[in-house]
Chains A and B, each alone.
Chain A
Amino acid sequence: MSDLVISVSQSDGKVPVTVMHVSGDIDANSHQELDAKAAEIIAGGAKHILLDLAQNTYMSSAGFRSMHKIYTALQADDSSGSGLRLLKPSAEVKRLMEAMGFDEYIPTHDDINEAVNAF
């Protein structure tokens, strides 16, 4: 088991992008930290969030619910394209994104520059 740790950095492409680096497990317990951090960032005016999942070790449906929350909150401000993108999700998360039809709405990237410039 590995505890959830979230760090935040800024990256500028065509628009300012807030990158949330998530390491550890996102489950029914720890997802609240992700929710709270994202809400704080969105309240602070962020319009584009890149969720860096390179160090994410596990994600349950709670994590998908969190992504849905972030996606919807960003969508309210900006309806042109998704305000949320994923960086380097695991093969398992990618499979679940597809199985649950999230991939149509939340794009995933394997390269950070490509991801930041996609917003």
Chain B
Amino acid sequence: MEKSNSSLTVKSDSKNLASIRNFIREAAESAGLDNDGALEICLAVDEACANIINHGYKNDSGDIVVSAVHDESKLTISLSDNAHPYNPLEQAVSADLDAPLNKRILGGMGVLLVKQSTDMVKYQSPAGGGNTLIMTKYCHNDEGASDISIIKRAFECSEFFSNMPTEMINSLCAASSIEHFEKGSAIFKKGDPGDSTYIVTDGEASVHEGDLIVATLVKYDTFGELAAFEDKPRTASITAKTDLSVVRLGRKDIIEIMSQFPDSGIEVARSLCKRLRDRTKEVIDGSLNSARMEQELEIGRKIQIGFITDPLPEVPGWELGAYFEAAKEVAGDFYDVFNIDGHSRVGLIVADVCDKGVGAALFMTLFRSLLRSTAKMHEYSVADSTVNKQILERPDELLKRCVQFTNNYISSTHGHTSMFATIFFGLLEPETGHLCYINAGHEAPFIISQGKIKTRLENTGPVVGLFEGAKYRVGEVSLEKNETLFAYTDGVTDAVNAKNELFTEERLVSLLIKESADDLTKKIIDEIKDHMGDAPQFDDITILSVSRK
């Protein structure tokens, strides 16, 4: 096979990019590339050189050696430098082409162009240091090419097979065939017997586990190669993402051809090692990412705990108890206790934002802030305080204002998310024991009096956050001496043990009746924990108890 060589050495300086392009244009012309092909290889080399200049050598000076080799079918360009070892093809950031343009981070665009504009690109780390990037461009594209030349090109460009001996590749080609799959059809499914190896020659395929897409395969990616060496079921499913053409090579053929070329063993081992190394890196990167995420969640947890009132404010003549435990790092439940206008009134809130985890936690901070800020508007506001204070004489109006404002705000601003909270919000006058409240779709709190359930504070309106303009009725009740208000979230009654048995409302009621008001919260929590044992907690658990002494 006739080969032709030329090379160019330039200093690492972006001023030299134009002369590198001229060199590539001439090489492309003598290799017989058409105009589009010449432009593409030119762009790929230019991007790769700009990468070496800006990221490889940075401010150091050094040489870039560009060499061009061509035979009758393809042009191969090698770029060698003495910069610190860096594989541009493995860089973590790749341009996100689906994001809106003004939101994009444009790093990685150059490498993407290199990959898109060549038929094959390979990185090598020479023993003597530095980097070598090898790019190949074929003189003619696949259109109209014979099956045998498409198959040959696929093997030459496949990362897995490209380093194998030429004679072996020729034998592999002869044993292979081209197959076409329509968009959406399965090439194989997880668990199928593995009998073939494939190389993509046109279109894209998804590697997936059920609905979860793990990777996308593009031109010259090899898949199913593990099956070539061991007779085991497929470890993932592959489906054509677009209309797809592949080269298929049967397991028996590959084993037989390998046995004819014993020297190929080392190259096969090398390719398999590379696969293993790539996977290991992915696993390590994944673990690092999840460690980072855990750290972020821990920060979120700390911030959220800061939203939970602790210690509770002192209310003379009353004993207050509260408990909060998130099922995950962050929670949708919360309670809040705060004085309004000195000690004249106390706001009492227990709420459960639907869902769990980060989304619920973000909404929890929103609900909590809106309720508290509307309740204490007159204290925070700079406007005439006498006008603002008038609302305090009508605690029922204040409650309505808080809940309706919060409801309207969330439903109109975040309605599309369908996030809502069930909320019990009471305003207690400690002096008299008078409590007015809104129960917005929340578990009805208990009033316990002398070992009996005196009453439950049932719904006075819908959940908060879904129905703009919803109206809420205000309930009223009086707490006498030795009576207790006990409010909670369904994480209490729904707590399950290892046998999946619920704690149940009956059990809660029997405890409420039996136990004295002293340390009631702690006694209930001890019982719930005893019930749960080692079983995982599925829902946030929140309790608030208020007893008049």
| A-to-B contact residues, CB < 8 Å | 1, 25, 27-29, 58, 60-62, 64-65, 68, 71-72, 75, 91-92, 96, 99-102, 104-106
Contacts and interface: CB of A to CB of B under 8 A. Distances in A.
A19 to B, nearest CB: 21
Contact of A105 (B14, B19, B101, B116): B101
Contacts of B112: 100
A25 B50 contact: no
Contact of A92 (B19, B22, B36): B36
Contact of A101 (B14, B43, B50, B97): B97
13 contacts: A1-B19, A25-B21, A27-B14, A27-B21, A27-B46, A29-B15, A60-B47, A61-B113, A65-B109, A68-B104, A92-B43, A104-B101, A106-B101
The interface centre, meaning the residue of B15, B36, B102, B113 with most chain A CB atoms within 10 A of its CB, is B102
B47 A25 contact: no
Given A29-B14, A60-B46, A64-B106, 9 more contacts: A1-B18, A25-B21, A28-B14, A28-B53, A29-B15, A58-B46, A60-B113, A99-B116, A101-B98
A96 B46 CA distance: 15
A39 B23 CA distance: 33
A61 B110 contact: yes
Closest 8 CB pairs of A and B: A1-B18, A28-B50, A29-B14, A105-B101, A61-B110, A61-B109, A101-B97, A28-B14
Contacts, number: 72
B30 interface: no
Interface of B: 14-15, 17-19, 21-22, 36, 39-40, 42-43, 46-47, 50, 53-54, 95, 97-98, 100-102, 104, 106, 109-110, 112-113, 116
A64 B43 CA distance: 13
Nearest to B17: A27
A75 B46 contact: no
A75 B14 contact: no
B133 to A, nearest CB: 16
A75 B101 CA distance: 10
B22 A1 contact: yes
Nearest to A60: B46
Nearest to A79: B102
B18 A25 contact: yes
Contact of B97 (A65, A72, A100): A100
Nearest to A74: B102
Nearest to A76: B102
A100 B46 contact: no
The interface centre, meaning the residue of A1, A60, A65, A105 with most chain B CB atoms within 10 A of its CB, is A60
Contacts of B95: 100
Contacts of A71: 101-102
